[in-house]
Amino acid sequence: MNRYTVMAQWGFKSLQILGATSVILLMSEVEPLRILSPSTTPGKNVGFFEGRAWALDPVGQSLVEQRQKEADELYESGTAFDDRGELNSALEAYQEALTVYRAIGDSRGELRTLYRVGTAYHQQGNYEQAIKIYDQVLAISRELNNPNLEWRVLTAKGLVLNLLGKYDDAIECHQNALSIIRELSLLQYEPVIFDNLGLVYFYLGEYEEAVQLYQQGLELNRTAQVTSEDKALLRRNQGSLLHDLGLAYLRMERYDDAIQRYEQALAIYREIGNQSKEAAAVSGLGYIYYKLKQPERALPLLERAASMSQELGDLEGVAYALDSIGSVNFQLGKFDEAWTAYRRALTIFIGNGNRQEERSVLSNIGDLLAQQNQPQLAILFYKRSINVTEAIRRDIVGLPPEQQQSYTNTVADTYRRLADLLLQQNRILEAQQVLDLLKVQEIQDYLRRGVRSSEQTAQGVDILPAERQISEQYDELIQGAIELGKELTELEGTPAEQRTPEQQQRVEELRGRQSQINLAFQDFLEQPEIVAAIEALEVQISQEIDPSAIRSIRSSIQQDAVLLYPLVLDDRLELVVLSPHTPPLRYPVPVGRLELNRAISALLSDLKDPNSDPKPNAQRLYNWLIKPIESTLAQSNTKTIIYAPDGQLRYIPLAALHDGNQWIAERFQVNYVTAVSLFNLNSQPRTQPRVLAGAFSEGRYSIPRGGTVLRFSGLPYAKPELETIARLYPNTRQLIDRAFTRAAIEPILNDYNIVHLATHAMFTTGSPEDSFILFGDGSTITMRDVSSLTLDNVDLVVLSSCQTAVSATQLGDGKEILGFGYQIQATEARAAIASLWAVDDGGTEALMSRFYTALRSGNSSKTAALQQAQIALIQGATRTRLEHLVDSENQPVTLEHPYYWASFILIGNGL
């Protein structure tokens, strides 16, 4: 026996040949390994390779060539299964091919097969395993200098990262892939990258951007100059782009457009025989009909999609269909069927690490439990949903601002529903924590970027000990179902007639255990230990509130201040009050969202008209917002209300409410906050004011924004306003008109502790990119840009302008005001003053003169100075001669109407 050791490219292989007198080993990057045996006698020579015996064929074909052929056939078999969407069979063939390729040292065969294994895991929803495989392929492809495979792996990995919520990494992968494609002039593949980038923006909630990318991809696909071999690729691209475009239209509630695109995609998938994609399109159509409240059309489609995906081994497809089936059954009032479908979907999503969908299903289960009058359990599932959301938020802080996560409104709705339930159960401290998180989420919705959490918000919402016990028992069932499901899926991938007796016995055993787990899930709420845990939870939440939580609240506010959190719900208004002297209190007010919003709109109309009488509408809102908490305000000897308004309440200054005798401004200082946990509300030490003041007093500019052109003229009273400030603060630096530019002011902002900008600003409800501050030379800074400034030395930013904090044309939900407050906070400036409507230029000059006079005394906080200025105008102490505001005898007029003094609000730390 002769032994020859063969050094292959990726390791050492041992080869034993019997009866061969001479063996020559040849290796080539182009050709497979060949064994040449000059003295071979056909039929007599036998070789042993990797532990298996091989006879050389009659024409002298080498045993390595035989194994090469075997591996190639296995690979082709796998791709055939793959193309038909039969993923379990594909994986089995790939794994066998991989074993052979590695045995014969064929690194290129190993590479392409590994890639296919990764894509199969991806399609199955086994994301973590897919990432591991893709990383192996990337390392090998780069070492072999194989850019053609590298871009494919990059884009495949980007898709998985997107599903895992790692959007920054996903974008980087797709952009790198696009660069390689263009370097290689593989333009027929560009549509694939546009489709994949569109999916990232889809998950970011930027549906318009996603639609543009899909349409661009379709156009590139249509115009691509390709060979006949690439036409099938273009057809697949077209189907995928149409499907994803339909999904974007679905999220935008353009249902007719969505149905049209899905049906077009479905026809293509059937034409090319892609059953996996066909199942996804059928599932999407079913979901659209659910949204259209046509369950009789939705359910058959969804059940068909689930069945198709199950047959194909596509667990992710099964889960999406099941989630929708749960929602349809919920819609039909079939709660047991909904519970089962949701639970099965959740098991798959958790097992695959799909956090986005895990969050969604947990929220759906919360809705279901709330409908079944199980508030404590509904609260638990809502909490879990929110904590997954907060975990995703923590993972996306590295994204560029314009690309960070912006969830759809349904995400914020989960926070709102949880706060509602907590308040109904008098769990006030927990509700306040959720209200903070809700405001952070709404800021993120508006800014379309990840919002930096505070120490309090970063951990999500607290899970109580009794809740944790319930949660852990549910997780135990989930994990058991996941592990059992994986093993059963693997075994069922082998056709029944091909299973060994041991495998068949194991399948039957696992199916029996699966039935037991299903029964345990079905009876989960009736299990004795769960009933006991719910009872323990009821006892726990009825006990005295955690003293440490009370201390935390009291340490964050002054002795003469209270926190007021209103929450606007469809059927009522909830007032949450936190003070240093009382336990957290909750006041439900029986006024629904529609009635409240009508009253807000009526008062806002009065406040913007100096000839109106706003007191009746102002008193109406006072009776809802302040009168219920009067006794608490009195008991706490309140001087300052720290106010975190909700929804359209953000458009109404609290100072402009009227109790029948006085305006709120005459009784209380008002300090707005976006969320209390985002601000340090302790009083700040006084420092010698250094003021940077800019003014736009002359000129005209046209600013294109949001598809229209906005025209602005100089503010005649802006220059006198700066002169007054400079008179009060001699070290004021003034920049007026052409000297007042972004380039001039931005580098020196942080050298001053007060920044006063007497110019126009527009903060719109639709897009932060369309919100801006105007400088004296016509340049602007957008709200997006504001947060990039560093103003950690600045105590106060004042926007004394014609229109700030709210659009003149569209009343939304006030997120732009919330967003402005957050952006100022992101600069690390301590507070800002802005207006809620287009203010009178001359009246503003009078108010600001009084404000800076009060602030100059050094004894007043910012909120106190603003209150003193407002009182001066209310009581007629400020009389002014304005060309457009004189009486019939050309005498100075007073400025008592809240139009002149109420629009300005202070956001941040004004204490």
pLDDT tens, residue by residue, 193-215:
999 999 888 877 778 889 999 99
Q: Are strands 2-8 and 11-18 parallel, antiparallel or unpaired?
A: antiparallel
* Token output for 589: 């007010």
Residue 656 pLDDT > 50: yes
Based on its alpha-carbon atoms, the radius of gyration of the chain, rounded to whole angstroms, reads 34
Better-scored residue on pLDDT, 10 or 505: 505
Residue 62 pLDDT level (bands cut at 50, 70, 90): low
Weakest-pLDDT range from 2-11, 36-45, 753-762: 2-11
Residue 532 pLDDT > 60: yes
Provide CB contacts within 8 A for 661, sequence distance 6+.
Answer: none
Q: From the centroid of its chain, how far is CA 396?
A: 9
What is d(CA 556, CA 465) in angstroms, rounded to the nearest whole number?
26
Angle at 563 between CA 387 and CA 597, to 5 degrees: 80
Q: Quick one: pLDDT at residue 765?
A: 62
**Is residue 576 a contact partner of residue 435, using CB atoms and an 8 Å limit?**
yes
* Section 600-605 average pLDDT: 91
Q: Quick one: pLDDT at residue 488?
A: 79
Sheet strands (E) in 382-510? none
Percentage, residues of the chain above pLDDT 70: 79
Q: Quick one: pLDDT at residue 537?
A: 72
Tell me, what DSSP letter sits at residue 627? G
Better-scored residue on pLDDT, 216 or 403: 216
Helix (H) or strand (E) holding 903: none
Tally of CA atoms within 13 A in the half-sphere of 97 that contains its CB: 27
Angle at 700 between CA 699 and CA 701, to 5 degrees: 130
Weakest-pLDDT range from 265-274, 292-301, 434-443: 434-443
The DSSP-derived string for 216-264 is HHHHHHHH----GGGHHHHHHHHHHHHHHHHHHHHHTT-HHHHHHHHHH
Q: From the centroid of its chain, how far is CA 842?
A: 43
**236-248 pLDDT, tens digit each:** 889 999 999 999 9
Weakest-pLDDT range from 493-497, 504-508, 533-537, 782-786: 533-537
**871-880 pLDDT, tens digit each:** 999 987 555 5
* Token output for 531: 């009933």
Weakest-pLDDT range from 87-96, 133-142, 796-805: 796-805
**123-161 pLDDT, tens digit each:** 877 888 899 999 999 998 898 888 988 998 998 899 888
Q: Are strands 733-736 and 669-672 parallel, antiparallel or unpaired?
A: unpaired
Residue 431 pLDDT > 70: yes
Angle at 402 between CA 398 and CA 407, to 5 degrees: 85
Residue type, 634: A
Residues pairing with 712 in the sheet: 701
Better-scored residue on pLDDT, 548 or 597: 597
Q: Quick one: pLDDT at residue 122?
A: 85
Q: Quick one: pLDDT at residue 52?
A: 40
Residue 319 pLDDT > 80: yes
Q: Are strands 640-643 and 561-568 parallel, antiparallel or unpaired?
A: parallel
Provide CB contacts within 8 A for 699, sequence distance 6+.
Answer: 713, 714, 737, 776, 778
Q: What is the pTM of this model?
A: 0.64
Residue 893 pLDDT > 70: no
Better-scored residue on pLDDT, 408 or 909: 909
Residue 641 pLDDT level (bands cut at 50, 70, 90): very high
Tally of CA atoms within 13 A in the half-sphere of 565 that contains its CB: 28
Q: Where are the alpha helices (DSSP H) in 737-781?
A: 742-745
Tell me, what DSSP letter sits at residue 629? G
Residue type, 229: E
What is d(CA 495, CA 867) in angstroms, rounded to the nearest whole number?
79
Residue type, 724: T
Average pLDDT for the chain: 79
Residue 318 pLDDT > 70: yes
- Residue in this structure with the two tokens 């549509």, named with its chain if needed: 191
* Section 298-313 average pLDDT: 92
Weakest-pLDDT range from 401-415, 743-757, 793-807: 401-415
Q: Say how many C-beta atoms besides its own lie within 10 A of residue 145's C-beta.
A: 7
Q: Quick one: pLDDT at residue 650?
A: 86
